Homo-oligomer: A and B are copies of this chain.
Amino acid sequence: MKQGLKITVIGAGSSYTPELIEGLIARRTELPIRELWLVDIEEGREKVNIIADLTRRMLQRHDMAHVDVHVTLDRIPALKNADFICSQFRAGCLEGRIRDERISMKYGMIGQETNGLGGFANACRTIPVTLDICKEIEMYCPDAWLLNFTNPSGMVTEAILKHTQVKAVGLCNVPVIMQKGVARMLNCDERDVVMQVAGLNHLIWARQILHDGQDKLQWVMDEILRGNDLLVPHNIPPFDWPEKLLRQMGMIPCAYLRYYYTSQDMLEQELGEADGEGTRGEVVKAMEKRLFDIYRNPELSEKPQELEKRGGQYYSEAACELMSAIYNDKRTIMHVNTRNNGTIAGLPDDCAVEVSSVITRSGPLPLNVAPFPEDTLRLIQLMKSYESLTVEAAVTGDRNAAHRALILNPIVNTGTILEAALDETIQANLDYMPQFR
């Protein structure tokens, strides 16, 4: 097996990167790294340099000074012969995210980076860049694995799977947080519980929670209804699932399903926040500023605790574990975005789904998913059509596909208001969405 891995991080100027470095350090005996390439664009030059310095200090501290850390704005040398590529960039930066939020709310809709109109805009900015990167991967490192946690992770992964030959896996921290929360509830090692999730990115349900020969799903549901919020990401404010909703479903929805099951409440909460502390994007922007002030400190050689509040916790740990599982053929069960291929009945074979999979050296082998109850399936199918049409619009710039996508989304308002909101979205993003010109 190959020794001396080359790992490339696209969008390395992200404030998450120290977590990724921490994960690589923790796995240094199982993931023998030789080169680490930190890539960003001109706008991120300062940030990626701060990250690189911190990275070197962290590696130094853990006797990993032998790892070559490269910083570059040029992707080609970074990709050449890479073994793993972590994609974690944000097309249009946080400003793009904030703009999405504000435009959506202006038209009375939820504004969010992966859902509704905001998710659509984000996909249309991100997918063209991602496909460019993939063309380079096909040329310079066709055997590399691309670990995508660039949002909207499900649609981006679908675009890669449909339009390139790249070996890609999409990641998200939502199921990771659920898995860790369940293990803590059960007071057991994470590896002793098989929590099977299925659905689409940010639209998953835990279908079974196997521990010690029994399905503990009902018990976990009871815990949640008693107020246990261990399964909810830090960046999501506290809330309660309606008991009857959970009971009748017989599955545990991820926290993002609040956007669909309690959409009016979410909208009102968002509008309130936007008038107060700012939108989520604005809050994150301020947080990022504080984090980089901390990262700059030449005394710092560990991931600072403040990062955990950032919301993406475990993202990078998931990436490190996935790299190790592939490299070491570990057969770990992880929750990833991959080609459906019949896993979820009722969805096209070639779409991306987020499902629990056995990770092998050849990539993920999804576990079979028992048929969903009809009503839940209908929501998943509807959202997948929204996603696939969004991917089509993002690739082709077909405004009709965009319109058909958005009409289907339950948290998008339809009618003349949608025409206006879509126009404004495209106009405001034209530099990042040349396909719509």
Contacts and interface: CB of A to CB of B under 8 A. Distances in A.
A385 B375 contact: yes
Contacts of A242: 419
A341 interface: yes
Interface in A1-37: 1
Interface stretch (A98-106, A117-125, A307-315, A363-371): A363-371
Nearest to A380: B378
A371 B9 CA distance: 35
Given A210-B362, A403-B245, A404-B248, A414 B263 contact: yes
A285 to B, nearest CB: 28
Contacts of A401: 248
A413 B362 CA distance: 40
How many identical chains are in the complex? Answer: 4
A257 B349 CA distance: 27
A144 to B, nearest CB: 12
Nearest to A249: B404
Contacts of A417: 264-265
B370 A368 contact: no
A164 interface: no
A400 to B, nearest CB: 4
B365 A196 contact: yes
Contacts of A245: 403, 407
A418 B260 CA distance: 12
A293 interface: no
Interface string A103-140: 00000100000000000000000000000000000000
Nearest to A400: B248
A375 B404 contact: yes
A214 B362 CA distance: 6
A263 B213 contact: no
Nearest to A242: B419
A244 B213 CA distance: 46
B379 A408 contact: yes
B194 A365 contact: yes
A399 B215 contact: no
Interface string A381-402: 1100100110000000001110
Chain A interface category by residue count: 35 or more
A244 B399 contact: yes
Given A261-B414, A362-B213, A400 B244 contact: yes
Given A194-B360, A379-B408, A415-B261, A374 B365 contact: no
Contact of A194 (B192, B341, B362, B416): B362
A378 B370 contact: no
A342 interface: yes
Contacts of A410: 410
A234 interface: no
Contacts of A212: 1, 361
Contact of A368 (B262, B342, B381): B342
A265 B415 contact: yes
A418 B265 CA distance: 10
B194 A415 contact: no
15 contacts: A1-B212, A194-B362, A215-B362, A248-B401, A261-B414, A264-B413, A264-B415, A266-B415, A342-B368, A355-B368, A358-B358, A366-B367, A368-B368, A375-B389, A381-B382
A-B complex: 10 closest residue pairs judged by Cβ atoms: A262-B415, A265-B415, A264-B415, A248-B400, A213-B361, A343-B368, A210-B362, A366-B368, A264-B413, A264-B417
Given A1-B212, A263-B415, A410-B410, 14 more contacts: A213-B362, A244-B400, A262-B415, A262-B416, A264-B418, A265-B415, A265-B417, A266-B415, A341-B368, A341-B371, A366-B368, A367-B367, A374-B385, A375-B408
